[in-house]
Structure 1
Amino acid sequence: MAWLAQLDLNYSLSAGRSRVHFRHDGPLRVLRSLYPEGDAVCHNVLVHPPGGLVSGDTLDITVQVGSHAHALVTTPGATRFYKSSGEPAAQRTHLRLQAGARLEWLPLEALAYNACDAHNLLHMDVAEGAELMAWDITAFGLPHASEPFVQGRFTQHMQWPGHWLEHGTVRADDAYLMDSPLGLAGQRCMGSMLLACGTALTRTQREHLLDATRAVLDAHPQGQWCGVTAPNAHMLVLRGLAPVVEPLMQLWQQVRVCWRQEHWQLPGTAPRIWSM
């Protein structure tokens, strides 16, 4: 029997404190709000007790951040797309930021199990003055368990209407995509990270952030498999490949610290769940 799980998170700023109100339907919810940085930034951990998705399952997540609130959302573990027996499994995420809002969307990795049929969809709306920091990391198969990704497909769609669109399907039987230097080059983990700004960055701001990010990449062993660009005045996009999740996740966390410090003048405070 397929699961349909829905979660709506609504953040607002009240008396200097970012607060969340939520409603859920099915096995998807957030834990208690934490404030390791003080009242201005609300940290939440999104929990899906079943731990994975099978054929026909859908996770439907909406996050709305009100004017000048700052939210950070992460997860305690990977999102697992298991073997499909027919219908695809889907995770749909819609992020809406009002004027002056900030959101850090930092879920842990997605794992595409062998023979899965998975759809991972991310839609963003970023108002004037709002800023979104978000990442997505996907690993194909379980190399440590000797379970390679030799069947199945993973479709990813990420969109900020009017500014940015990426859509593609990774098929396990597409040898050119999986193993060619023009594709994944034999790597089995891919990641994207973005900074989306409702108000255009100046050229000086973009160049400063690009230089700072490249310095982080140059100092990390996995950095040679990564690249950062500014596809337009509103965005930075970082992409990378790795054989497994761990080096890419470590690098993405370092870039997050860089962007927080260089662009937001905030310390790189990590969610507590990452230390568990």
Structure 2
Amino acid sequence: MPWHARLSLNYRLQEDKTVLQHAHDGPLRIFKSLYPEGESVCHNVIVHPPGGIVGGDTLDIRVNVGAGAHALISTPGATRFYRSDDEPGTQAVHLQLADSARLEWLPLESLAYPGCRAVNRLEMELQGAAELIGWDILGLGLPSAGQPFNEGSFRQHIEWPGIWREQALIDGRDHRLLDSPVGLDGQRCMGTLWLASGQALEPARKERMLEAVRAVLDAGDRSATGARVAASCPNPQLLVVRGVAPLVEPLMQVMQLAWRELRRAAWGLSGGSPRIWQV
């Protein structure tokens, strides 16, 4: 029996405190709100008790952040897309930010198991001076367990209507894409980190953020782990960090470093990682 789960998260600023109201239907839950950085930033963890997505499953997550509120959302583990014989397994995420809202969307990686038929969609809307730091990290197969991604498909869709759209279809039998130097070049993990602004970033501020992130990316010895990363600003409202690696762990480590530096450079925040990442 397929799971059809919905989770709605609504954040509002009340007397300088970001508070959450939520509703759910099916196997999606939210841990209690935490405030390790003070009451202005609300930390939450989304939990999916079944532990993975199979054919016919649909997870629908909607996040609304009101004016002046600031939320940080993560997960306790990877989102696993298991083997599917017929219908695809789908995760759909919609992020909506009001003027001057801030959101950090930081789920741990998605894993595409061999034979999966997966659809992973993320859409975002930002108004006025809203800003969103988010990432999407994908691991193909289970290389450490000797299970390559040699069958199945993964459809990826990230969209900010009118500003940014990314689409990919990764087929386990498409060796040109997976192994060619003009494709993934044999890498089995790929990721994108971004800062999106509802209005054009002031040029000097944008350059400061870009320089700060590039300094972090250049500081480590990536050759030892195989991670390849780079940062750019493809338009006046967007800063993007892209990376590939042979495994999830080295790319996740780099992305976490870049996230910490980006939130410091953009918002003056230097808090540590969400506690769930240390469990």
TM-score band w.r.t. shorter chain:
over 0.9
Structure 2 unaligned blocks of 5 or more: none
Cα distance in 1, alignment partners of residues 262 and 271 from structure 2: 9
| Overall identity of the aligned pairs, in % | 54
**1:160 Cα deviation (Å)?**
0.5
Matches within 5 A, 1:219-238: 219-222=219-222, 225-238=228-241
Match of 1:50, SS state, is coil
How many residue pairs align between the two structures? 276
Cα distance in 2, alignment partners of residues 9 and 186 from structure 1: 38
Cα distance in 2, alignment partners of residues 235 and 51 from structure 1: 33
- Work out whether residues 228 and 243 of structure 2, in 8 Å CA contact, stay in contact via their aligned partners in 1: yes
Query: In structure 1, what is the equivalent of residue 40 of structure 2?
Result: 40
Match of 1:111, SS state, is strand
Query: In structure 2, what is the equivalent of residue 86 of structure 1?
Result: 86
Query: In structure 2, what is the equivalent of residue 256 of structure 1?
Result: 259
- Work out whether residues 121 and 158 of structure 1, in 8 Å CA contact, stay in contact via their aligned partners in 2: yes
Query: In structure 2, what is the equivalent of residue 170 of structure 1?
Result: 170
Query: In structure 1, what is the equivalent of residue 143 of structure 2?
Result: 143
Query: In structure 1, what is the equivalent of residue 248 of structure 2?
Result: 245
- Work out whether residues 11 and 66 of structure 2, in 8 Å CA contact, stay in contact via their aligned partners in 1: yes
Equivalent AA in structure 2 for residue 271 of structure 1: P
Cα distance in 1, alignment partners of residues 192 and 34 from structure 2: 26
Match of 2:38, SS state, is coil
Cα distance in 2, alignment partners of residues 50 and 171 from structure 1: 25
Matches within 5 A, 1:44-193: 44-193=44-193
**1:210 Cα deviation (Å)?**
1.5
- Work out whether residues 258 and 268 of structure 1, in 8 Å CA contact, stay in contact via their aligned partners in 2: no
**1:268 Cα deviation (Å)?**
3.4
Equivalent AA in structure 2 for residue 154 of structure 1: F
Cα distance in 2, alignment partners of residues 170 and 138 from structure 1: 11
Match of 2:24, SS state, is strand
Equivalent AA in structure 2 for residue 42 of structure 1: C
Cα distance in 1, alignment partners of residues 91 and 252 from structure 2: 20
- Work out whether residues 81 and 89 of structure 2, in 8 Å CA contact, stay in contact via their aligned partners in 1: yes
Query: In structure 1, what is the equivalent of residue 19 of structure 2?
Result: 19
Query: In structure 1, what is the equivalent of residue 268 of structure 2?
Result: 265
- Work out whether residues 37 and 271 of structure 2, in 8 Å CA contact, stay in contact via their aligned partners in 1: no
The reply on whether 1:275 has 2:270 as its aligned counterpart is: no
Structure 1 unaligned blocks of 5 or more: none
**1:126 Cα deviation (Å)?**
0.7
Match of 1:261, SS state, is helix
**1:203 Cα deviation (Å)?**
1.8
**1:263 Cα deviation (Å)?**
1.0
**1:221 Cα deviation (Å)?**
2.9
**1:211 Cα deviation (Å)?**
1.3
Match of 1:84, SS state, is coil
**1:167 Cα deviation (Å)?**
0.7
Matches within 5 A, 1:194-209: 194-209=194-209
**What do the CA deviations read for 1:188-221 (whole angstroms, capped 9, x no partner)?**
0000011000121122222221111111111123
**What do the CA deviations read for 1:43-101 (whole angstroms, capped 9, x no partner)?**
00000000000001010000000000000000000000000110000000000000000
Equivalent AA in structure 2 for residue 145 of structure 1: A
**1:270 Cα deviation (Å)?**
1.3
**What do the CA deviations read for 1:215-249 (whole angstroms, capped 9, x no partner)?**
11111233861111111100001110001111111
- Work out whether residues 256 and 268 of structure 1, in 8 Å CA contact, stay in contact via their aligned partners in 2: no
Equivalent AA in structure 1 for residue 50 of structure 2: P
Equivalent AA in structure 2 for residue 219 of structure 1: A
Tell me whether 208-217 or 188-197 shows the greater mean CA deviation. Answer: 208-217
Cα distance in 1, alignment partners of residues 216 and 182 from structure 2: 24
The reply on whether 1:213 has 2:213 as its aligned counterpart is: yes
- Relative to the length of structure 2, the TM-score reads 0.97
